[in-house]
A and B are shown apart, each in its own frame.
Chain A
Amino acid sequence: MTGGLWRDALRRLAADRAAITGLVVLGLLTMAALAGPLLVDWRQDQIDWEHMAVPPFAVEGHWLGTDRLGRDLLVRTLHGLRVSLAIALAATLVALVIGVAWGALAGYLRGRTDALMMRFVDVLYALPLVFFVIILTVVFGRGPVTLLVAIGAFGWLTMARIVRGQALSLREREFVEAAIVGGAGTARIVVRHIVPNLLGPVIVYATLTVPQVILVESFLSFLGIGIQEPLASLGNLIADGAREMETAPWMLAVPAGCLVLLVFAFNFLGDGLRDALDPRDR
């Protein structure tokens, strides 16, 4: 029966032009990331010895140019998009699940349990991410999975804090007392009353987490402890492009433009979702 509220939210979302634009752009980018590499004649690690560092549209077949090693920039960007999106979505999902459960429970139970749970979050916060990633790469080797585990392990901390704050104020609301009077137990109150009511800020924060994770991924890749060549990610493509930006600006412009588009799309969608999901305030 919750269908009604979601249907209302969808109708409101459909009326929001910026959010729909964001959604369409995201859909196109996702489709391009999934199917695009199959439609291009080049592989991401394939070198075209005759066309190195050519600008976009200069040579037939390399529509967005090539990099210094003669690798097709279009196919590398699409692959990078695929890797970045996959890591970002997976890490956000991890953050969402752990963060919401952790924060909602801490906020609802309050007192000593809350203090213990949040001090644990504080301790993790105090660990430097880069240091943690280096340790993980030493133990498990470099690669997307290590990166995912590292980002996931830190990504849920902020989410847990946001959710806890929301849960703390929600549990003081009268409808929680009403549920207690109605015989509802802790689990039911958290699942049926606390979590659905904090979904708005959570979804907004999640859509903002995705571009954040993409930036962290690119930062780590830039430092050489993230995605490794010849695998492409938006991060290491931008890092490569930044080194060539004076002589071959397209090497930076193509992946950077892609990243900007992605971040804008997520932010517009997040804004629209927040407005659509809140049945009050209108």
Chain B
Amino acid sequence: MSALLELRGVTVRYRLHGARQAPLTAVDDVSFGLDAGEMLGLVGESGCGKSTLGRAILRLVPLASGEIHWDGDRVDALGAGAFRRLRSELQYVFQDPNACLDPRMTIAQSVAEPLRALMPALDARQRTQRVLQLLSEAGLQAEFGARYPHQLSGGQLQRAVIARALVPDPRFVVFDEPVSALDVSVQGQIVNLLAGIRRGRGLAGLFISHNLAVVASLCERVMVMFRGRIVETATSAALIAAPLHPYTRALLDAVPSLDPGERARALRRRVLPVADGTPVSAAGCAYALRCPLAVSRCRTERPAPVPAGAGREVACHRAAEWPAGLPAGAPS
């Protein structure tokens, strides 16, 4: 079976202010496939290009190079009108539910908006019906439809945003950190809601988050992104149990623990270095400058993603040296 969504060498560049500056490569030569009904996780630190990758799939940012294939057809070269017809199948849940709902529209109006363009066959009564049905699927009572965004809480707004993304009956949804703007208590509710919706609809998706626990609970497979590149792809279980890439290890070690003893041990280990503005050399590994395990080859030769058994891929020259994974705190 061919993948539902396939990216080949997708690259996105942002032109920076000041014409003489080199463009910033936000997404660098990313390739992956995603099957129907599969929820794929995407983790990485802030600014690593996770959201940009999601936006590029939905054509909210233009590609610098690469191809996107949807359902067997290449779609990145389609004209704007032809791509618009695809929008009912590809939807997006934005990170900040406060910002992505028009403050001057009621919840019902916002949820109904995609129907006008994407399901033009429906009349006004059918649209209303569909909106109510989706609001209830997202766990919102019908009365919320008549309210304005500023009258709802963050969790209720996110439910409305999810209802809007699902209203044209998509087959693929990008969830761009859908819970990171919410209270921890509400996060759990939304994660459960998403898990239920996923099961009920057989929905495929790209789930972007910096929270590994959330990703692991929703996705079978996870990609780890660093500075625009995918450094490791594995099942959630394998990734957490036995990370192969030093960056994945560092990411896992950076998760704060509630156990005081563990917290003290973690502090004695290295803290995850903060991303600085150092330009990544196109030749070497993106992580080489921060990697405690880097050798000279890492700075001169770019590692390609190589299969590492059981559907795993890792882009690290030295990964073969630790086939059982890097233990916690291993790089020192």
Which A residues have a C-beta under 8 Å from some C-beta of B? Answer: 1-2, 4-5, 173-175, 177-185, 188, 192-193, 196-197, 279-280
Contacts and interface: CB of A to CB of B under 8 A. Distances in A.
A183 B87 CA distance: 6
A174 B108 contact: no
B84 A175 contact: no
B102 A182 contact: no
B275 interface: no
B91 interface: yes
B38 to A, nearest CB: 21
B117 A178 contact: no
A178 B58 CA distance: 11
Contacts, number: 82
29 contacts: A1-B106, A1-B108, A2-B105, A4-B106, A173-B99, A174-B96, A174-B100, A175-B100, A177-B55, A178-B92, A178-B94, A178-B101, A178-B161, A181-B58, A181-B60, A181-B91, A181-B165, A182-B113, A182-B164, A183-B87, A183-B116, A185-B117, A188-B117, A192-B105, A192-B113, A193-B102, A197-B102, A197-B103, A280-B150
Contacts of B103: 175, 197, 279-280
B17 interface: no
A13 B168 CA distance: 38
A173 B99 CA distance: 7
Contact of B146 (A4, A179, A193, A196): A4
Contacts of A1: 106, 108-109, 146
Contact of A175 (B92, B101, B168): B101
Given A1-B106, A183-B84, A174 B113 contact: no
B119 to A, nearest CB: 9
Given A182-B118, A183-B87, A184-B117, A279 B104 contact: yes
B150 A279 contact: yes
B303 interface: no
Interface string B239-264: 00000000000000000000000000
A68 to B, nearest CB: 54
A13 B50 CA distance: 45
Contact of A178 (B100, B106, B108, B146): B100
A188 B118 CA distance: 13
Nearest to A277: B104
A279 B114 CA distance: 24
Nearest to B120: A183
A5 B101 CA distance: 15
Given A1-B106, A181-B60, 18 more contacts: A1-B108, A4-B106, A4-B146, A5-B104, A173-B99, A174-B94, A174-B96, A177-B55, A181-B58, A182-B114, A182-B118, A183-B88, A183-B116, A183-B117, A183-B118, A185-B84, A192-B102, A192-B113
Contacts of A5: 104, 106, 148
A75 to B, nearest CB: 45
